[in-house]
Structure 1
Amino acid sequence: MSVAALGGAGETGAEWRLLELVAQLDGTDADRTAEAVRLARGSLDTDVLLAQAVRHHLLSALAAFLLDHELMERWPRATRTHLSYTYRWTRHRTRLLVAEAQRIAEVLGAAGIPFACTKGIVYQSLLYGSRGTRYLADIDLMVRPDSRGEVARALDRLGFAAGKYFDHRTDGLVDLARRDIALYAMYPDHLPHFVRLSGDPVTPYYKVDVAFSLTWYGSRWQVPVDAALAGLVEVPVTGGTLPSLAVPYSFLFAVLHLFREAWFARTMRTSDVRLGQFADVVRLWRGYAAREVGAIGGLIRSLALEPPVAWVCHHADSVFATTMSDALGLGDYGDERWLRSACGSGGEVLDWSGDMRSRLRSALPPAIAPAADPRFAAELAGLAPRARPAR
């Protein structure tokens, strides 16, 4: 299969357009649903569509869409089987991770530790209806920096080991490399991942990612964690609830996390941003954040977050036809040089080719080259990215 077939060149094909629609369908837009059904009934290269769905963590979402609209029978038998079992596995994995998150939340709450569950573990309910269509890699927690010791001790009591990763060859836990442990010490915005074996044959371990920042260590763009944790909301999940950031902070965290993943040249080359990450932002906007524009805009202005938030919102608008940038008063930040900018390992300004849709479609990382300073160069000083551990 060629790179072009996977979406690396040429016009947007039916396969990619269908995946864009599947990523955002939430049952509220009949026109988008009708377009997706029409495309799925047409002529598709299912191998191309599957490869794109796997790369963007949307395979279960695709399976659910095909099942919901009685379209699965149009696909080859072997592919139907694979899709169906992948969807079953994702639902099973989601149930296990949600139950484990509730176990952790109960212990942290009893200890009086302020914390919020973030990202996928709450999005899977809030934005995806607890259907198991949103892939979960781990359980994400946001805590205050001064709570790190208490959180580490609580997770230790729950059977988690710090600084480990799961080895699929041996089905056991292995120590992180010394270099990776040193990076966590040098850039203290996360604890080393906590991992414990689950005893489940298909989801053999649980991983917990504990963060102390809504951006990254050393960034000039910061959101006070105390303020973010001051007004938590309870998100209903299967079997109970989980504490989550309120909508304004949840939206900003989703946007700023995506910005970090998409803007640094190092992550662009190794694990570039995915369509599903943009879909989280768009679903959060359409379902909740659009009703809190005043609060979100006030935070953006008071914390001087305009450049990174505008970078993400303008790109999301271009792919999903949203109007987040204008609604948040960020239209003036749609400078082309800024939107095509990236940050090198030494903090230097780089430029990537193409637009965000072509970047997402491509199976290859975007071409990156040195660039002139964008309009906001004065705000970029000292923004060299942290070198994240590999696992």
Structure 2
Amino acid sequence: MRLVVVGGVAAGLSAASRARRLDRSLEIVVLEKGNRISYGACGMPYWVEGQVRSMDELTVYKPEFFERERDIRIRTGCEVTTVQHSRREVALRSGERIRYDRLVWAAGARPAERIQHERVFNLHTDVDAERLQEFLRTRQPRTAAVIGGGYIGLEMATALRARGLAVTLFHEGTQLLHREEDWLTKKLVERLERCRVEVRLNTRAAAPAELPYDLVLCATGLKPNVEVMAEAGAELGRTGALRVSEQQETTLSGVYAAGDCCETTHVVSGRPVWVPLGTTANKMGRVAGSNAAGQRERFSGIVGTSVVRVGGMAVAMTGLSTQQARRDGFSPVDVLIESRARPKYFRGKMLQVQLVADRNSRRLLGAAIAGDEDAAGRINVVAAALAAKMRVEDFADLDLAYAPPYATVNDPLLVAAHQLRKALD
């Protein structure tokens, strides 16, 4: 029995490793388009910024590890161009054909916009990061434009500013991080401008190659790599990514998908969503590998938890924003509070916390937190509450830890929860 996994990094290697643990007799082959198979892509902005010394520090495993320790054959530089499921066969760009009994498609996503120009860059792969670093080292640019106000755009505006460049951030929309919360965008703009990043919202930049900057970084979003599977007969979902079951199986029997190429279910709304994040990819890959090895596991979905650092400030989000909740049929009520993360006498800094709940069911729907202290830890508490479908009253009664070096006696989350309960009454 041969399992072929298309794509390394997060989802593909999680799938291959899980399948190997469950079935020692499987022949497992991983086909990776690039030359590195396991690296922390989310750390690349911090390499550019200077907090990581080299790409080697971001490399988690080399191919020899998987072959030696897990008996998984790794083939790099192998791009799959077609899948012929009726023949259980994939074809490589080289013309080689490889047979499979079961297939895991973990080909990820690609930049929505990739322009071939010496001054224009993306930051999606290790090759992108190395090219950008070489340009920064040899050309020593003084000005940069960052196009896009999502995670990568904001991280890269911060990173390039830390490198001493004069940075201008262009974003077509009026809301950063696609969260549709005016207060959050206002706070982000204030922090970026404090770092002397010029922010131009609701502005469509000229063609990247025509912009009068020494360096242009395009961070205008991603597209799932689904074309090969669609041509093979796999159905796409409403998001444009591959449709999969709870077992991560596509509409082709025995073909599974995981990671940034496929959609999943949002636990709060119950609707299909496409959220290309490494945490989700790893969990999907584990389930896909289990089922490809003959088990029966399920992936129940996500609540959409994320955190990003912008100019030293953490912005964390989970669940639905007020506008998202309204579109999904809820009757949302939200509160926004400001409270210290630690007592004032312990030099505690202020956090802004927004909670969203449904007026009818009083169920907690989402949260956003921004500040310089422990936003990540607090958003994880809310994420757990969302997964448990907790009501506001239950959330407000949580027994959270308190000690002056770490938290206030009334944690900002509980302050917000009590305010939300009043708003619902």
TM norm. shorter chain > 0.5: no
Computing the radius of gyration from Cα coordinates, the structure with the larger value is 2
**Structure holding more strand per residue:** 2
- Larger relative CO (CA 8 A, sep 6+): 1 or 2? 1
**Structure holding more helix per residue:** 1
**TM-score, with normalisation over the residues of structure 1?**
0.25
